[in-house]
C-alpha cells in the first residue's frame, strides 16, 4: 500500500530579530509593570497631578538601596524618600520632585524626631530602615 502525498506550498515565515538590548528592555519593563501593579493592588493609589489627593498608599519603586542622602541631592534616591514620606503623611504628594529641597528636609527632620533618630536631616541607613518600616502618622 502506498501513501499518497499532496505537496503543500511553502509559506515563508517572517524572521523576527530582536537585539539583546531590546529583549532585555522588554523584560525589564514587563517585570517593572508587574511589580508596580502588585504594589498598587496591595494599596491602591490615586494621585492627581499637582494635587495632594491620594486615596491610600502608593507603591514607591524608585530606589532600593540605603545610601546616605542629604539636602541638595537629586535623583531616584530622593524620589524614593519623598514617596515614603508622602505615604507616611510627612510630605504632600505635590512635593515629589526628585530634589532634596527644604520641604523634604523639614519632613525628614520631623520624621527622625518622631522615630527617635538623630534629627540631622541626613537619610542614613538607620533612617532608611525606619522609613521602610514605619506606619503612617497617627496610625
pLDDT over 50 at 44, yes or no: no
What is the model's pLDDT at position 100?
96
Give the phi and the psi of residue 69 in degrees, each rounded to 5: -130, 140
The mean pLDDT of 11-20, rounded to a whole number, is: 58
* Lowest-pLDDT choice from 31-45, 82-96, 121-135: 31-45
Q: Using alpha carbons only, how large is the chain's radius of gyration in Å? A: 24
The mean pLDDT of 27-37, rounded to a whole number, is: 50
Which percentage of the chain shows pLDDT scores above 70? 59
pLDDT over 50 at 48, yes or no: no
pTM (predicted TM-score): 0.59
Q: What cell was used for 81?
A: 524618600
In whole numbers, what is the pLDDT of the chain averaged over residues? 75
What is the model's pLDDT at position 70?
94
How far the first Cα of the chain sits from its last, in Å, is 83
pLDDT digits 0-9 by tens, 56-76: 567 788 888 899 999 999 999
pLDDT over 50 at 113, yes or no: yes
* Lowest-pLDDT choice from 24-33, 89-98, 107-116: 24-33
Taking residue 66's Cβ as centre, other Cβ atoms within 10 Å add up to: 16
| C-alpha distance from residue 44 to each of 41, 55, 62, 66 (Å) | 5, 7, 17, 25
Q: What cell was used for 33?
A: 509593570
Amino acid at each position: 500500500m502506498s501513501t499518497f502525498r499532496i505537496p503543500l506550498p511553502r509559506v515563508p515565515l517572517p524572521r523576527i530579530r530582536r537585539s539583546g538590548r531590546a529583549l532585555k528592555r522588554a523584560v525589564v519593563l514587563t517585570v517593572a509593570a508587574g511589580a508596580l501593579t502588585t504594589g498598587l493592588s496591595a494599596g491602591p493609589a490615586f494621585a492627581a497631578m499637582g494635587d495632594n489627593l491620594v486615596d491610600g498608599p502608593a507603591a514607591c519603586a524608585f530606589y532600593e538601596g540605603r545610601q546616605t542622602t542629604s539636602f541638595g541631592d537629586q535623583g531616584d534616591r530622593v524620589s524614593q524618600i519623598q514617596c515614603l514620606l508622602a505615604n507616611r503623611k510627612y510630605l504632600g504628594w505635590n512635593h515629589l520632585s526628585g530634589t532634596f529641597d527644604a520641604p523634604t528636609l523639614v519632613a525628614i527632620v520631623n520624621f527622625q524626631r518622631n522615630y527617635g533618630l538623630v534629627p540631622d536631616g541626613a537619610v542614613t541607613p538607620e533612617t532608611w530602615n525606619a522609613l521602610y518600616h514605619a506606619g503612617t502618622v497617627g496610625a
